[in-house]
């Protein structure tokens, strides 16, 4: 089973601490913080840097997460 998130950093850490047998998928949409603000409103609360920090914690505790990057017409080259 895979749990997918756009980046709720506290929930990523909690999932790691619970050590459930699930994979984590993080949908970044874009690594650019400004562009991500428009695509993923939760980025205003948990910026991409904090999400990546939480994902690193998850990797240390539970295994390697996977990342998804969506390329809208603007912002991807």
Three-state secondary structure readout of 26-67: EECCCCCHHHHHHHCHHHHCCCHHHHHHHHHHHHHHHCCCEE
* Residue range 19-28, pLDDT digits in tens: 988 889 988 8
Is residue 12 situated within a structural domain? yes
Which two three-digit tokens encode residue 22?
């699930």
Is residue 31 situated within a structural domain? yes
User: What is the residue whose two structure tokens read 């997918």?
Assistant: 4
Which domain range does residue 40 map to?
A: 2-68
The per-residue pLDDT for 40 is 84
The per-residue pLDDT for 72 is 56
pTM here is 0.80
The answer to whether the CB of 16 falls within 8 A of the CB of 62 is yes
* Residue range 30-75, pLDDT digits in tens: 777 788 888 888 888 999 899 999 999 999 998 888 877 665 555 4
Q: How many domains does the chain have?
A: 1
The per-residue pLDDT for 13 is 95
């Amino acid at each position: 089973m895979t749990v997918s998130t756009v980046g709720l950093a506290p929930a990523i850490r909690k999932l790691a601490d619970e050590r459930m047998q699930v994979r984590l998928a993080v949908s970044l949409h874009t690594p650019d913080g400004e562009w991500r603000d428009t695509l993923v409103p939760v980025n205003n609360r948990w910026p991409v840097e904090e999400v990546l920090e939480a994902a690193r914690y998850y990797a240390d505790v539970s295994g390697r997460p996977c990342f998804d990057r969506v390329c809208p017409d603007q912002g991807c080259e």
